[in-house]
Structure 1
């Protein structure tokens, strides 16, 4: 039998059908075979649960990714856990060298640890510094990205720990300054492995609420490990992507997690945040009264100025006797109208005399007066049929039609004989 035939038979055996299913033990064994082929890996995470019962040889840990909702179970020899200094506690960041293991009886996967190392403060600070440089290079800290807080927000979102001093400080100071300030509080974990997912979820809820104009993330002071969630990369990017302005009020004045650089406004303490998000009603009331007084004084000053101006205008002669100038101007108009009438009559008289003189000269020089004394005007048609005045006998011949114009009409005749003059 050839190799290809053997492979075909093995593949046929591995295939399952409804009539030929695999037992659970077979499936578990095959999964275990695949997992056991994996080698040991270094894993970094945050310890969320420790189960180390006295008298047992194995400790059970739950290792969680601080930036995602993913966790795995880790088993380790009890001696390995007890040898860690300082003692391992929940919320600590560790690096584990472990091999994936599949427990056939329960059908579960866990990591079998052979070495556990706590991440020290120096390493945590170095990682935060590397992340700070990365976010700064991407422009998340740029001042031009910062948004101004609204003068009087219609809604304030507060993310903080339940019944914490930070919550009390923000609420008391905000309500002391503006009693009607509406504040929506969402309580979350502010330290430990569940802090980042809960804060991000609360941030997304408040950011999607159209009634919230500003979001405050507040927490009291703490150690570097306690403030680690506020230097988480996922949380910093979520704050940077939020559409609503975010105020960071983490710890005390010396505490500067990365969230302070990404937020639109950094407050040194939660008390400072309560004072920065709303105006002081007493100061604003005093400012309104001050502006009202200034407006009243300005209006009174303007009215006084206009009254003085009206008094000055009223005292002028043109307003004291408004009809006097009109009467004087009326006399001037009558005088000029009479002068104009006389000038027009003189001009008409001169022109009429000139017309009469021209008419007399025209009458004396015109043909009508000559014809009245017995003279006539003889016309003949030229080649184009137009009448021309006859000035010489050479212009007509025998039989030429003639038009003889007299003082009271015209006579048509025909030339019969042309006689030259002496």
Structure 2
């Protein structure tokens, strides 16, 4: 891939240079992420488990990439930091019942969350913690059994709660009349990663079940994939039913591709081998802003601003208010999804989309040499000082995409690419 060097240099010299200088808490473990959008100010020392798990996975993956020479970084230091973050989560955030605390203080003291004061608030925090542990299981051979066991406990619990309809999903609770795609999508990805790391039987089983749910649970109609599926007919004209999230659909497409690599039986339940690529093309066509360029956060199923009947759910306000923002993570996911799928399917259209996404992304988001991205921007690309999910500067999507792009350019063999 002709841009692999550019992605690697941006990762090493800018994105990681900033994060490794400002994020790690080398005294207490974990990473500080509660920075203002500009990155200039640490506004809180709280540690969200969601981000801690992501950081552990990222550094573990980077340590493996460094050992292979894909990135010019200190593999031992990266693994030590990843393990320290994993230990922070294991010691402070695990609640002993297969769930995690949503947020802790800097020293790991569990914070109550929400009006009920329950420290647990999100199955996604559980799954990102499991992802971090799975990454450590693959990178830290001496402690692989321990990390894999911690990941499996969280994964199995999350799967059971999602299947029972009792999983909490902060920061975006799902209206009870709908089911969310994000739950099976994350289950699929984390389970497949764990299976690849340890051979976990539960990981393989849950990955396959989650893919089946995502593909047959009312979310998919051809190449149209909805974020919220109706539990029963009657609300098809609602905004919640009609809105789409292009960035999620692109991430979903490459998640499926990876899951099929890691759990071969997944390939048997896909509509066909080319479906992820066609779905990615449909998401790009639907979500691209033809006025200002870039991917819109939310769109209507027919394109443009989301519309439809309102049901009084708080999520509707977020969709209506922020639909035309330009966010870091959809563009990072689009960079990798288009590159991976263009290569896998030898698809010139996806290659052309990759170039378009790359040009817009690098023109809009990076803050300059030695710095990361201004992650939250208005439709025209100007910075916005607004919280869009957690009150954090995300350390994950950008660095992950750049690392995976560097790996993709390093070696086109899927085993080498996915299991360094």
- TM-score normalised to structure 1 length: 0.19
Query: Larger % of helix: which?
Result: 2
Which protein has the larger Cα radius of gyration, Structure 1 or Structure 2?
A: 1
